[in-house]
């Protein structure tokens, strides 16, 4: 823990381009005004499209994170190609915690790595990190890297994805190498950061999370549904790259190393909208939703 | 920020009665084994029962916090007595943020304080605080008092309720004294701690939050419903003390100053269930749900 964090933060209080004049721009205004160069297009091969049946018939869009969990993401791509998620369902909805879908009991498709390595953290080497100079209850340091919220241990030279709202991980049994990717979960509540470095995170929901978050909670242990009939069916799962070019959704995520992103974080930490009588002066890692935008409709 | 926090925490690593023998009890097991003296019965006059119509016909149970916002809570009791919440509805559901209900445009009942003081914090004097020795991005210190999660500023001699999942607050307009209690909100996502000390918190949902959390998100700005017809109706709101004794639900909350609660917090921070390969060694204030239990059914 760096005891000078608040000092570092204070030094960021006035960023280039963010004048101190009132009224200061809100986080939403900063995102709206961010230049094109502040945005990065998510490759179509990293967009996982989950089409739900049930009452909503909604689509959930997931951005995959091959830079953090390459073996697991490769597995998920194999599972998508084999249509292994289709005609499974959402089997678990635990309030303020996670939803879970898929079926790890099906025969695995060819090439699936049944026991992937525990990709719970990665090396800091080659990773450009934008630190968030705030204390954190779970990690020695926190920040953002490649558009993701991360915990950081500089002494150990490692970084890991953080269990913030919307993050997607790989369900597993007790042994750490037992999650193939055939069952996935998403965080729908207060960030369960105790799971960091205990399970592989592989992406995050960038659109449609409310289609999962509004599902009825399961009444059995851990929020599993007591009856299979309660499960919301999963009709179709594709990578955007599998679709004809004209049908591919295009999404951009804000680059976390840009002045626009720093201004956004700073505004999240020091809200100066007229509503606020006392800006917090700080912000939790998981209270900085990574800005995304859809580029076609 | 106390740079010795992790050291303080380490000193708590072995608590009386929590043997180091494996397998260590889980948080759920600690709660189940807590003695009767670790629990406090919530007075019936502090239980607000909100009966929803719509598809669910569910009850939401709120514990009020008169020790932190006495004028606002007195207002809410007047509003309940005048049936001012009845036949209003849930007007706003913003994903990962708040739900909001009530109607501040109705004529106020007799005795309502139209402009209550900004009860955003209270004195530390006379308040027994159980510190949570963890760093926090929002407050100089955090902990628990009278069964509530609190931010603490010892230098200023003040404490305040924290915007954790399920906490209930009073909607207001831009001026700080404009929330009478006729419109309330509840947190349904990642703790929006930036609201701490900017708005009056008056309680928390102890049962039935999923009846609100699963409502469709509103499509208008800030998650308001575009059409009044989308609102889930509120059929009836009572204090439990208004009901005949035989119909009153009885709830207990764990006393935050007890060894059982300390053991629970410690287990939340250092998960030793077989699933965990790396206990976090820390826990966020809002990742310590305050244990409650219903005593009659």
| Beta-carbon separation of A193 and B284 below 8 A | yes
| Interchain contact, A284 vs B284, CB within 8 Å | yes
Whether A174 sits inside 8 A of B1 (CB atoms) is no
pLDDT band, very low/low/confident/very high, at B297 (cuts 50, 70, 90): confident
Give residue B22's pLDDT.
Answer: 57
Structural domain boundaries enclosing A48: 5-294
pLDDT of residue A16: 35
Strand-pairing partners, residue A44, are none
pLDDT band at A13 (very low <50, low <70, confident <90, very high): very low
* Domain-embedded: residue B135: yes
In order of A52, A168, A210, A258, the CA distances from A59 in angstroms are 6, 15, 10, 30
Residue B214: predicted pLDDT: 97
Contact yes or no for B113/B199 (Cβ under 8 A)? no
- From chain B, pick out residues whose CB is under 8 angstroms from the CB of A271: 194
Q: Provide the pLDDT confidence category of residue B4 given band limits of 50, 70 and 90.
A: very low
3-state SS class at A84: coil
Is A96 within 8 Å of chain B by CB? yes
pLDDT value at residue B184: 98
- Residues of chain A neighbouring B196 (CB-CB closer than 8 A): 280
Q: Which of A96, A137, A267 to probe by mutation at the B interface, max B CB count within 10 Å?
A: A137
B54 touches chain A (CB under 8 A): no
Cβ contact, residue pair B95, A217, below 8 Å: no
State the pLDDT at residue A7.
34
Looking at residue B274, its pLDDT comes to 85
CATH number for the domain harbouring residue A101: 2.40.100.10
DSSP helix/strand/coil, B46: helix
Residues of B in contact with A190 (CB under 8 A): 164-165, 189-191, 284, 286-287
Q: Is residue B47 part of a domain?
A: yes
Q: Is residue B268 part of a domain?
A: no
With an 8 Å Cβ cutoff, are A96 and B198 in contact?
no
pLDDT at A2: 34
Overall average pLDDT of the B151-160 stretch: 98
CA distance B3 to chain A (A): 6
**Average pLDDT of span B119-140:** 97
Task: Pick B297 or B275 by higher pLDDT.
Answer: B275
pLDDT of residue B24: 83
- The reply to whether A190 touches chain B by the CB within 8 Å rule is yes
The pLDDT-based confidence of B98 (bands split at 50, 70, 90) is very high
The torsion angles phi and psi of B204, rounded to 5 degrees, stand at -155, 155
pLDDT in tens, A64-94: 999 999 999 999 999 999 999 999 999 999 9
Question: Strand, coil or helix: what is A287?
Answer: helix
Of B176, B192, B217, the CB nearest to A210: B217
Task: Report in angstroms the alpha-carbon separations of A188 from A92, A219, B152.
Answer: 12, 17, 28
Q: B161 in a domain, yes or no?
A: yes
Q: What is the pLDDT of residue A83?
A: 98
For residue range B215-224, list pLDDT tens digits in order.
Answer: 999 999 999 9
Cβ–Cβ contact A123 with B under 8 A: no
Section B80-101 average pLDDT: 97
Indicate yes or no: CB of B135 within 8 angstroms of CB of A1: yes
In a domain, B178, yes or no: yes
Of A118, A276, A282, the CB nearest to B138: A282
pLDDT digits (tens, 9 = 90+) for A162-207: 999 999 999 999 998 889 999 999 999 999 999 999 999 999 999 9
Using the predicted structure, report yes or no on whether residue B203 has a pLDDT greater than 90: yes
Q: Is the pLDDT of residue A208 over 90?
A: yes
B221 vs A: CB within 8 A: no
**B225 interfacial to chain A (CB closer than 8 Å):** no
Examine the pLDDT at A23 and tell me if it is beyond 80. no
Q: Closest chain B residue to A211 measured between Cα atoms?
A: B216
Q: Please name the member of B135, B271, B283 whose beta carbon is closest to the beta carbon of A135.
A: B135
Mean pLDDT across B134-147? 97
Q: Residue A98: which of A176, A180, A171, A1 has the closest Cα?
A: A171
Residue B230 inside a domain? The answer is yes
Residues of A (252-291) whose Cβ lies below 8 Å from B: 268-269, 271, 274-287, 289
| Interface touch A276/B216, C-beta < 8 Å | no
CA B1 – CA A216 distance, rounded (Å): 41
Using an 8 Å CB-CB cutoff, list chain A residues near B174.
Answer: 274-275
Q: Indicate yes or no: CB of B96 within 8 angstroms of CB of A209.
A: yes
* Interface ipTM: 0.91
Long-range contacts of B240-243 (CB under 8 A, 24+ apart): B240/B44, B240/B45, B240/B47, B240/B48, B240/B49, B241/B43, B241/B44, B241/B45, B241/B47, B242/B80, B242/B81, B243/B44, B243/B49
pLDDT at B134 over 90: yes
**Of the ranges A9-13, A88-92, B231-235, B274-278, which one carries the lowest mean pLDDT score?**
A9-13
- Does the pLDDT value for residue B18 go beyond 50? no
Most B CBs within 10 Å: which of A8, A119, A194, A285, as the mutation test of the B interface?
A: A194
Cα atoms found within 13 Å of the Cα of residue B23, Cβ hemisphere only: 11
| B213–A contact, CB cutoff 8 A | yes
Instruction: Report yes or no: B209 at the A interface, CB cutoff 8 Å.
Output: yes
A207 touching B (Cβ < 8 Å): no
pLDDT at A21: 46
In this prediction, what percent of chain A has a pLDDT beyond 70? 92
What pLDDT score does B131 carry? 97
Structural domains counted in chain A: 1
pLDDT digits (tens, 9 = 90+) for A98-131: 999 999 999 999 999 999 999 999 999 999 999 9
Residue A19: which pLDDT band, with cuts at 50, 70 and 90? Answer: very low
Smallest Cα distance from A137 to chain B, Å: 5
Sign of CA dihedral A230, A210, B215, A191: positive
Domain annotation covers residue B180: yes
pLDDT, tens digit, for every residue of A135-147?
999 999 999 999 9
Chain B CB contacts of A151 under 8 Å are none
Q: Is residue B228 part of a domain?
A: yes
Q: How far is the C-alpha of A134 from the C-alpha of A46, rounded, in Å?
A: 30
- How far is the C-alpha of A191 from the C-alpha of A186, rounded, in Å? 11
The yes-or-no verdict on residue B21 having pLDDT over 80 is no
Buried/exposed B37-60: b ≥16 CB within 10 Å, e otherwise:
ebbbebebebbbbbbbebebebeb
Map residue A50 onto helix, strand or coil: strand
At A211-244, the pLDDT tens digits run 999 999 999 999 999 999 999 999 999 999 999 9
Q: How far apart are CA A203 and CA A206, in angstroms?
A: 9
Over residues A24-48, mean pLDDT: 96
pLDDT at B11: 33
Which pLDDT band, with edges at 50, 70 and 90, does B89 fall under?
A: very high
């Amino acid at each position: 823990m760096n005891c000078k964090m608040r000092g570092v933060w204070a030094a960021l209080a006035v960023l280039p381009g963010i004048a101190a004049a009132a009224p200061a721009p809100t986080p939403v205004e900063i995102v709206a005004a961010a230049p094109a160069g502040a945005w990065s297009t998510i490759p179509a091969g990293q967009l996982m499209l989950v089409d739900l049946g049930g009452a909503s018939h909604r689509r959930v869009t997931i951005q995959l994170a091959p830079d953090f969990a390459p073996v697991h993401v490769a597995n998920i791509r194999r599972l998508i190609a084999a249509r292994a998620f289709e005609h499974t369902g959402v089997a678990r909805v635990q309030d303020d915690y996670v939803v879970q879908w898929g079926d790890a009991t099906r025969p695995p498709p060819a090439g699936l790595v049944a026991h992937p390595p525990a990709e719970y953290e990665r090396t800091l080497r080659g990773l450009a990190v934008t630190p968030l100079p705030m204390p954190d209850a779970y990690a020695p340091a926190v920040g953002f890297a490649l558009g993701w919220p991360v915990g950081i241990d500089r002494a150990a030279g490692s970084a890991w994805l953080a269990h913030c709202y919307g993050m997607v991980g790989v369900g597993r049994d007790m042994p750490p190498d037992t999650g193939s990717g055939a069952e996935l979960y998403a965080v729908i509540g207060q960030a369960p950061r105790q799971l960091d470095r205990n399970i592989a995170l592989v992406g995050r929901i960038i659109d449609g999370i409310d289609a999962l978050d509004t599902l009825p909670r399961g009444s059995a242990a851990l929020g599993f549904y007591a009856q299979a009939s309660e499960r919301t069916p999963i009709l179709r799962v594709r990578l955007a790259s599998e679709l004809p070019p004209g049908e591919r959704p295009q999404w951009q995520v804000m680059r976390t190393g840009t002045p626009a992103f720093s201004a956004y974080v700073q505004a999240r930490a020091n809200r100066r909208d007229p509503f606020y009588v006392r800006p917090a002066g700080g912000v939790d890692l998981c209270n900085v939703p990574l800005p995304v935008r859809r580029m076609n409709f």
